[in-house]
Amino acid sequence: MKSKLLILDDDDSILQLLAAVFEDEDMELFLETDSEAAVQRVVFDHPNVAILDICLPKKSGLEVLKEIKQIDPGLSVIMTTGYRTTQNAIEAMKHGAYEYVTKPFDIGKLKELVWKALECNLLNRKVRYAEISDQIGDAELEEDIMIGSSPQMIQIWKMVGKVADSDASVLIQGPSGTGKELLARAIYNNSRRCDRPFLAVNCAALPETLLESELFGHEKGAFTDAHSRRIGKFEQCNGGTIFLDEIGEMSISNQGKLLRVLENQEFERVGGNETIKINVRVIAATNFSLVAAVREKKFRLDLFYRLRVVSFFLPPLTERLEDLPLLADLFIKKYAREYEKRIKGVSPVAIDLLKKHPWEGNIRELKNIINSATLLCKGDILMPEDFESLLQVRSTFRQPDISLLKEGDEYFSAFCAMLEPVFGDICGKENGSVYEKISTGLEKALIHLALRKSHNNQVLTAKLLGISRNTLRDRLEKYKLASE
């Protein structure tokens, strides 16, 4: 589907000039000299980008801007004028303009600006329109996509459009399962570094010394297993972006080294004396309050301020329930395609049921439940009965007694506590194969969680689980689990 560009100007020569400029850009053009006609274009044709002249005979461009922003808040609007007045620029940006440019145009810069505005709009489109599932191609369904139409998400995407092109460090806060890495990737994808590497590191998945080596690299002989020089993630993504997940779990020592990178863009490898110069943007994420960690002396105050140049907060799913039908629709499309099923959607009664669930696992929990419901559904619409047992099981399994996990009894008590409420249902469903089903499911879950914690690194996953890499590869193949 072609992108759409609306141009509103009362000067025909300007319209023809811009039409000639963009005719080869694979865009559908709407050229208007009348303000009301331009507004109607926004209503019926949903353009991606609009170029509006401020000085118009009937209704000013600023008035048109206010009106069309009410109709489509995600529309990227570039305001133009022949008069270099500061107040017009302030007013335009205040009312949601993407940018403000003066005539005569620098055609090269204008084209670049329109493409950036288009990228911002396409990002906003993914979070706005309820019919989004019809606009997402099969290739996009292979990856996780972050969407939402709630006011909180619209504000987040607007902020992405404003800060993506800067090199400012970013701190993303929010509960587990809300999509912090997806937001980090959205910032990266819309930045000028998008053609350079993006690397993600889970700071909680590695012990202190291993994390230091992972980030900064090491020299040969730096420690027992350092048989050769190894460059770290910062060197690997020089010129690009590094995403540090669960930053609050980083040791104080490594926090000091990270602070130096943020301040000077330099570091030394472990066991080395050579100062390495780099140019890397840092995006960090945490699922708990760093302010509290600073107060408890577990996180450096100076690092906190260095990271929080730009700050995002991703709300839990229960605070953006308007997005639940949209998210459910996206996940159904994804898993229906994967399982080769023709499921059209979720019934309104089932949506009401889902909205009453506490969703402590947030979007990740919703995604997993939709996955299971889609797999098990026998009809073409997901009904309440497709979710009731899944929601009950998730509720039962959600909060095991953590003290039971520390009693040293090989987790016997904890597993009994988790299985007992649903064991009768399992026996009725899996009569004669309970042992096989439970043990297989547990092994698959362990490997899946270990892979996720190790960021799909097979070597780290095998070490974490205490199994050989060959055994891990065998299980990955057996359970069709994805890895790098």
List CB contacts of 313: < 8 A, sequence separation 6 or more. 172, 173, 174
Query: Can you give the pLDDT at residue 357?
Result: 93
289 shares a domain with 356: no
Whether residue 364 is contained in a domain is answered as yes
Bridge-based pairing of strands 99-102 and 49-53 is unpaired
When pLDDT is averaged across residues 198-212 and rounded to a whole number, the result is: 87
Q: What mean pLDDT is predicted for residues 32-52?
A: 92
Q: Which of 360, 358, 356, 354 is nearest to 331 (CA)?
A: 354
Last residue of a domain, one of 399, 424, 452: 399
Q: Dump pLDDT digits (tens) for 341-364.
A: 989 899 999 999 999 999 988 998
293 and 323 co-located in one domain: no
Q: Name residues whose C-beta falls within 8 Å of residue 367's C-beta, 6 or more positions apart in sequence.
A: 327, 331
pLDDT attached to residue 140: 53
User: 227 and 300 in one domain?
Assistant: yes
Mean pLDDT of 231-245: 90
> Would you say residue 23 lies in a domain?
yes
Distance CA 286, CA 288 (A): 6
Return the pLDDT at 468: 87
Distances (CA, A) of 249 to 245, 300, 345: 9, 12, 40
- 72 and 197 part of one domain: no
251-290 pLDDT, tens digit each:
999 999 999 999 999 999 988 888 999 999 999 999 988 9
12-16, 323-327, 413-417: which range is least confident on average?
Answer: 413-417
pLDDT at residue 142 above 80? no
Is the pLDDT score of 221 beyond 50? Answer: yes
- Regarding whether 195 and 99 lie in a shared domain, the answer is no
Query: Sign (positive/negative) of CA torsion 352, 363, 120, 96?
Result: positive
Q: What is the domain range of residue 112?
A: 3-128
Length of the chain, in residues: 484
pLDDT bracket for residue 74 (50, 70, 90): confident
Average pLDDT, rounded, for the chain: 83
Q: What is the mean pLDDT of residues 387-401?
A: 63
| Residue, of 413 and 45, whose pLDDT is higher | 45
Using CA atoms of 150, 151, 155, 156 in order, give the dihedral in degrees to the nearest 10. Answer: -30
Domain count, the chain: 3
Do 269 and 163 belong together in one domain? yes
Least confident of 161-165, 312-316, 379-383: 161-165
Crossing angle for the helix pair 107-128 and 151-163, to the nearest 10 degrees: 160
In a domain, 360, yes or no: yes
